C-alpha cells in the first residue's frame, strides 16, 4: 500500500499533510525517513512513525458525522446524500452510514466501511442504546411519559422499555434499544403527540462531540473505536 494512503486511512493526516511531513523527513518507516509518499509499504509489518507518533494501521475507517437536517442516509450518489458531506474517497472505500436517521433528524451518525461492526451495532439482538433529545407538540403528561417508558403499540408492535427524562412537558431525552423505522416519531404518535425536533446524542458508547458543528465530521479516536462492542469482543 502507498505510504500516504496508509497514513491517511488511519485518520492521522491528509495526503497533503503527509507529503509535507515526508519532505521534512518526519515520516519514518522501520526507523528510516521516507521522503516519497508514493513509496509502497507492507501494511502488515511496517512500523510507521508520523511526526514522532506511531501510526496504528486499521483495515477500516470510522467517522463521526454531525448530520444536519435535509440530508438522506444513503450511499447513492444523489445531491441530498449524506455521503456528499464527506470526502469522495470515503464512498470509493466502501464507507456507508451505519443505520439511518430520518431526513429531518440531526445528530450523531457513524460512517464506516466495517460491515461486521455495523451488523453488531444494528442487530436487534444486541440492544444497542440510542439516546435522542426531542421536542414534541403537544406537550406530554407524566402518564404519557410513563406509557412511552413501559412500551407502546406501534402498528401492532409493542416497543421495548425506554427511558425518558423530561426537562419540561414538551422536551427531554429518550433512550431506546431498538431501531424500528421512524421509531421515536411513531412512539410519540402512539401517545397522541408529535415529534417536531429530534437529535441523536448517543449511539451505543459513542457520544456526539459537542465541538462538531452540524454538517461536519471527524475520525473516531482510538478510545472511541476501542469502546465499540465488536472491538471489545475482538480484544477479549
> What cell was used for 11?
485518520
Cα–Cα distance for residue pair 13/51, rounded to 1 Å: 10
Q: Which of 19, 27, 121, 198 binds ligand URA (CB under 6 A)?
A: 198
Cα–Cα distance for residue pair 234/106, rounded to 1 Å: 31
Among 4, 36, 42, 102, which one carries the catalytic annotation?
102
Q: Which of 13, 101, 166, 228 binds ligand URA (CB under 6 A)?
A: 101
105 is a site residue for ligand URA (CB under 6 A): yes
Cα–Cα distance for residue pair 69/119, rounded to 1 Å: 25
Q: Which of 102, 178, 209, 214 binds ligand URA (CB under 6 A)?
A: 102
Cα–Cα distance for residue pair 226/231, rounded to 1 Å: 6
Cα–Cα distance for residue pair 31/184, rounded to 1 Å: 53
Please identify, using beta-carbon distances, which residue of 169 and 179 lies nearer to ligand URA.
179
Three-state DSSP at 40 gives strand
Closest residue to ligand URA, based on beta-carbon distance = 105
65 is a site residue for ligand URA (CB under 6 A): no
Q: Which of residues 167-196 bind ligand URA (CB under 6 A)?
A: 182-185
Q: Strand 171-176 to strand 130-136: parallel, antiparallel, or no bridges (unpaired)?
A: antiparallel
Clarify whether 102 is annotated catalytic: yes
x-or-dash pattern for ligand URA, window 118-157, by CB under 6 A?
Answer: ----------------------------------------
- CB neighbour list of residue 223: distance below 8 Å, 6 or more residues apart: none
Please give the positions annotated as active site.
102
Q: Which residues bind ligand URA (CB under 6 A)?
A: 101-102, 105, 182-185, 198
Amino acid at each position: 500500500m502507498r505510504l500516504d494512503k496508509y497514513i491517511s486511512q488511519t485518520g492521522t493526516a491528509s495526503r497533503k499533510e503527509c507529503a509535507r511531513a515526508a519532505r521534512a523527513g518526519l515520516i519514518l518507516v522501520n526507523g528510516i525517513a521516507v521522503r516519497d509518499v508514493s513509496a509502497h509499504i507492507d501494511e502488515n509489518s511496517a512500523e510507521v512513525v508520523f511526526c514522532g507518533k506511531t501510526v496504528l494501521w486499521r483495515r477500516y475507517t470510522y467517522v463521526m458525522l454531525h448530520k444536519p437536517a435535509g440530508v438522506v442516509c444513503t450511499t447513492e450518489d444523489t445531491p441530498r446524500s449524506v455521503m456528499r458531506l464527506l470526502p469522495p474517497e470515503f464512498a470509493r472505500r466502501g464507507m456507508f452510514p451505519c443505520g439511518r436517521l430520518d431526513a429531518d433528524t440531526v445528530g450523531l451518525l457513524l460512517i464506516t466501511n466495517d460491515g461486521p461492526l455495523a451488523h453488531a451495532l444494528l442487530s436487534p439482538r444486541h440492544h444497542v442504546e440510542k439516546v435522542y433529545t426531542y421536542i414534541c407538540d403537544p406537550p406530554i403528561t407524566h402518564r404519557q411519559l410513563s406509557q412511552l417508558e413501559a412500551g407502546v403499540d406501534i402498528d401492532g408492535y409493542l416497543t421495548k422499555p425506554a427511558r425518558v427524562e423530561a426537562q419540561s412537558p414538551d422536551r427531554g431525552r429518550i433512550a431506546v434499544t431498538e431501531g424500528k423505522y421512524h421509531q421515536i416519531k411513531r412512539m410519540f404518535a402512539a401517545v397522541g403527540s408529535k415529534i417536531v425536533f429530534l437529535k441523536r446524542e448517543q449511539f451505543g458508547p459513542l457520544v456526539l462531540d459537542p465541538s462538531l458543528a452540524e454538517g461536519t465530521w471527524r475520525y473516531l479516536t482510538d478510545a472511541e473505536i476501542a469502546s465499540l462492542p465488536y472491538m471489545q469482543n475482538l480484544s477479549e
